[in-house]
Amino acid sequence: MSKGTGILREQNKRKVLSLIRQLKKTSRQDLVKYMNVSKNTVSLIVDEFINDQILKEVGFKEPGTKGRPKVIIEINKEGYKSIGLEITKKGIEYSVINYYSELIEKEVIPFDSIDPTATKKKVFALIETLLEKYDQVLGIGIGVPGIVDTEKNIVYKSTHLGWENVSFQEECSQLSRKVIIQNSVNMGALCANEKEGNYVKGSSFYVRVREGVGGASIIDNHIISGGSWTAGEIGHISIDQNGVQCDCGQRGCLEQLISVSSLSKELINKGYSLEGEIDWNGDYIHFQEFKDIMKTFGSYLGKALVLIIHLMNPDEILIDTPYNGHKEFSSACLDYIKQHALEFPYQQTRIIFGEERYSMSKGAALAVILDYERGVF
């Protein structure tokens, strides 16, 4: 087999897996139609995967007209796996998924991640433990809050962790698997993008509000990182020029206005005792003062999203915030967009207020599968 033929065959193998992952179940005949290749090409690939226990046959589908019944195939959930991790200030979350992105195992390990050397040691010891536990692991994805060079595996700056110029290159080179390191919000965007259905084609913009406010842009399941790995930085759009001074030098940045820490300050200023973190089931969430804050926060986000709709024109916007359960927030956000965005792009943009937290560690594991299908490794 020539080198060119070998590359083409490998591309076809990964395309087969990608198609079956999207379709859940299919047949050799249908794969031939989707891929526009010969029956022999598909049969050889499928048979090889079945022999390696990556695919399996699960029954027959009777044809609608005369002909032989189709043998239905699907991915073996015990086959290829992927590991994803998210590093936060207070801990390390990991997820192990199968090739269908179904969760096999997930856990949060409390850990003070301020010291990068100790954190890397903890992370890679955990990875080694998981690699010993699971076979056929394609690779490992790691999400880190901050500016991350995905090619050199360097975290240039993480304000959240207090890191600067932290390299993962040596640790990655010692592993027997592919390692992907990305900004954690980007990893969350992949998880959201998959869960909400825009899984194959199209563009989406993801917004995450927690202690900070971050954003990520995805086109055809590919993260758009930008020239300095800061694409999608919606948190530093100035919304109120008379607002609070931000660390970036501007006033009234979205992050200063609607982050969870900003909400805490608002509630404390109004005389509420939070005793640490916000209680999302507390009595005060039913008070009019809280509803008014949610309305204001929704309008602020809506103002930022008008800019995103006009500049980036995404097919959908995915909003991941603990405020989504409060109708005052979502209604105010949508009202502002409807009133201020150009009518046609607004009507064409699907805006989703997520009902649950999108997992960054699961998104990190998914990043490995997507890169594998693209032939990155």
| Integer CA distances (angstroms), 18 to 75, 118, 326, 375, in order | 10, 37, 37, 11
**What does the domain layout of the chain look like in residue ranges?**
3-75, 81-191+360-374, 197-353
Going by DSSP bridges, is the β-strand pair 25-27/137-144 parallel, antiparallel, or unpaired?
unpaired
CA atoms 64, 65, 71, 75: torsion sign = negative
Taking the domain 3-75, which CATH number applies?
A: 1.10.10.10
| Integer CA distances (angstroms), 184 to 96, 142, 146, 188, 276, in order | 16, 8, 8, 6, 24
Distance CA 235, CA 214 (A): 5
Of 333, 356, 325, 315, give the one whose Cα is nearest residue 192.
356
Rounded to the nearest angstrom, the gap between the alpha carbon of residue 75 and the centroid of all alpha carbons in its chain is 22
* Six token digits for residue 377: 């490794």
pTM: 0.92
Rounded to the nearest angstrom, the gap between the alpha carbon of residue 295 and the centroid of all alpha carbons in its chain is 27
Sheet with 350-353, side-by-side order of all strands: 222-224, 213-219, 203-209, 316-320, 350-353
* Same fold flag, 81-191+360-374 and 197-353: yes
Pick the CATH number of 197-353 from 3.40.50.1860, 3.30.420.40, 3.40.1590.10, 3.40.50.720: 3.30.420.40
Distance CA 157, CA 147 (A): 5
Residue count of the chain: 377
Tens digits of residue pLDDT in 222-273: 999 999 999 999 999 999 998 888 888 899 999 999 999 999 998 888 888 7
Question: Considering only the top CATH level, what class is 81-191+360-374?
Answer: alpha beta
Number of Cβ atoms within 10 Å of the Cβ of 49:
21
- Beta bridge mates, 10: none
Cα atoms in the 13 Å half-sphere on the side-chain side of 248: 13
Query: Burial of 298 by CB count in 10 Å (0-12 exposed, 13-18 middle, 19+ buried)?
Result: buried
Distance CA 128, CA 124 (A): 6
Rounded to the nearest angstrom, the gap between the alpha carbon of residue 328 and the centroid of all alpha carbons in its chain is 26
Q: CA angle, corner 106, sides to 109 and 223, nearest 5?
A: 100
Q: Are 252 and 243 in contact (CB under 8 A)?
A: yes
* Six token digits for residue 203: 């563009």
Backbone angles phi, psi at 345, to 5 degrees: -65, -35
Each residue's pLDDT expressed in tens, for the chain with a length of 377 residues: 556 778 899 999 999 999 999 999 999 999 999 999 999 999 999 999 999 999 999 988 766 556 678 899 999 999 999 999 999 999 999 999 999 999 999 999 999 999 999 999 999 999 999 999 999 999 999 999 999 999 999 999 999 999 999 999 999 999 989 999 999 999 999 999 988 865 557 899 999 999 899 999 999 889 999 999 999 999 999 999 988 888 888 999 999 999 999 999 988 888 887 777 788 888 888 899 999 999 999 999 999 999 999 999 999 999 999 999 999 999 999 999 999 999 999 999 999 999 888 999 999 999 999 999 999 88
Q: Are 272 and 245 in contact (CB under 8 A)?
A: no
Distance CA 180, CA 371 (A): 9
pLDDT of residue 289: 92
Distance CA 34, CA 15 (A): 10
The type of residue at 65 is T
